[in-house]
Amino acid sequence: MIEVSGLAKMFKVRTRLTRRRGDRWRPWRFGSDRADSGRHVWAVSDVHFRAENGQILGLLGPNGAGKTTSLRMLAGLISPDAGTLQVDGIDVTRRRADALSRMGVLSDAHGLYPRLTARENIAYFAALRGLDRGATDVRIENLAELFDMRRLLDRRTEGFSQGERMKTALARALVHDPANIVLDEPTNGLDVVATRSLRETLRYLRSPEGGAKCIVFSSHIMQEVERLCDRVVVVSQGRTVADGDVDTLMASTGEADFEEAFVKLAFPDPTGRERRERRTDRPQA
């Protein structure tokens, strides 16, 4: 189970002052006493959700809504400025290693080592997780069967297709058989066949036969979320703005189409356009 509450993260944005000489504007160089020290913006201001075991939770929002930043904090890659993150009751910020041992994380950049085979990529991460050689070999064979990737195991990953890279990266993330799985837009760049294969795999992992995993699935594609997820959390402008199953969210907006419901929830501006500016003060929850 994954619980996120009151999550917030602020970043410093460097800006540059200008001065006018005659009719021309000239930038001041960074490092000078006239260079602006920058301003602070809230990439995430109040994200909260709870993902249960045996459930796929969709984290849905437009580009720039704060989904990836939230998942990076959950994965322990960056520290939050406020809020709590717990994995099976373990605080990520205080016990990062223990929390990560309970998670398998697939980021938006798969990051395979191109000179290694798929088997070697997976085995390397198994070693980082503390698995011995015997356990690693068993897990690789099980994952190869699950993802239908036996023919890929002893090929170098350089030159792999998007679908082949996704399978290898997902197998690498699951090599230690984690109870919780975090996927950041895993269908990006995949064709229809690879997307269907991933969807079937996630449904299996959610099932009792697949271990009743807790799965958090980030996307900005409404159709994927509608077809796959048991519950949906909508994030907009760094905040959680809705939480419920697809039918509940459509009912709350009075819409019969999920895409229309999403637009109403994610873009409160009646023009349907997201505000591009981020507030420099943290919005109140």
The phi, psi pair for 207, rounded to 5°, reads -75, 160
Label each residue of 82-119 as H, E or C.
EEEEEECCEECCCCHHHHHCCEEEECCCCCCCCCCEHH
Q: Identity (one letter) of the amino acid at 27?
A: P
Contact 103, 175 (CB under 8 A): no
| Distant-in-sequence, close-in-space partners of 207: CB < 8 Å, separation ≥ 6 | 54
Q: For the chain, how big is the Rg over CA atoms in Å?
A: 21
pTM of the model: 0.82
Taking CB atoms within 8 Å and a gap of at least 24, the contacts of 205-212 are 205/181, 206/54, 206/55, 206/56, 206/230, 207/54, 208/54, 211/177, 211/179, 212/53, 212/54
Structure confidence at residue 39 (pLDDT): 74
153 secondary structure, DSSP code: T
* Sheet of 103-106, strands arranged across: 90-91, 82-87, 2-13, 39-51, 239-244, 231-236, 55-60, 214-219, 180-184, 103-106
Structure confidence at residue 198 (pLDDT): 86
Could you tell me how far CA 145 lies from the centroid of its own chain?
Answer: 25
Burial (CB count <10 Å: 0-12, 13-18, 19+), residue 61 = buried
Structure confidence at residue 144 (pLDDT): 93
Cα separation, 198 vs 76, whole angstroms? 25
Domains of the chain: 1-11+37-102+180-285 (3.40.50.300), 111-177 (no CATH)
The tens-digit pLDDT sequence of the chain (285 residues) is 999 999 999 987 765 545 555 555 455 444 444 444 557 788 899 999 999 999 999 999 988 889 999 999 999 999 999 999 999 999 999 999 999 999 999 876 568 899 999 999 999 999 999 999 999 999 999 999 988 899 999 999 998 988 888 889 999 999 999 999 999 888 877 788 888 888 899 999 999 999 999 999 998 888 888 889 999 999 999 999 999 999 999 999 999 999 999 999 998 765 544 444 444 455 554
Structure confidence at residue 31 (pLDDT): 45
The single residue listed with the structure tokens 């900005």 is: 220
Structure confidence at residue 110 (pLDDT): 67
The single residue listed with the structure tokens 């795999």 is: 201
Q: How far apart are the first and last CA of the chain?
A: 24
Give the up-direction half-sphere exposure of residue 111: CA atoms within 13 A in the CB hemisphere. 9
Structure confidence at residue 255 (pLDDT): 93
